[in-house]
Amino acid sequence: MEQTFPQRIYKLVSLIPKGKVATYGQLALLAGNPRASRIVGAALAKAPSGLPCHRVLYRDGSLCCDRAFGGKEVQRGLLKREGVLFLPTGQVDLLHCLWKPDNSLLELL
């Protein structure tokens, strides 16, 4: 069954474990198109509730725009509560908290 891009995105996001984060580009890569990172954002914008979309951020660790999640502070609070480390600059420590998916996990797609 061929899934649409957003469908694969939803699946990937739901696989992100607590305490880890992923970037839009990362999800785009896992979904099959490294350059379709915008599609990831568009997909999350229409994503159903229950998805840990607050664990998805920019390539440099900066959080997404204020209109999402009800504010950056809210998103940062959620991530901190899950054990995600933050740098003095207020950005997420990607070097330590970036999600590294296993091959067995990707087979489920």
Partner DNA sequence: CCGTTGACCCTTC
Partner DNA sequence: AGAAGGGCCAACG
What CA–CA distance (Å, rounded) separates 107 from 93? 28
The question of whether 64 is a catalytic residue gets the answer: no
Among the listed ranges 77-85, 86-94, 96-104, the one in contact with DNA (CB under 7 A) is 86-94
Binding of DNA by 62 (CB under 7 A): yes
Closest CB to DNA among residues 87, 104: 87
The least CB distance from residue 14 to DNA, in Å, is 13
Among the listed ranges 65-73, 78-86, 100-108, the one in contact with DNA (CB under 7 A) is 65-73
Under 8 Å CB-to-CB from 27, ≥6 apart: which residues? 9, 12, 13, 37, 40, 56
What CA–CA distance (Å, rounded) separates 97 from 86? 9
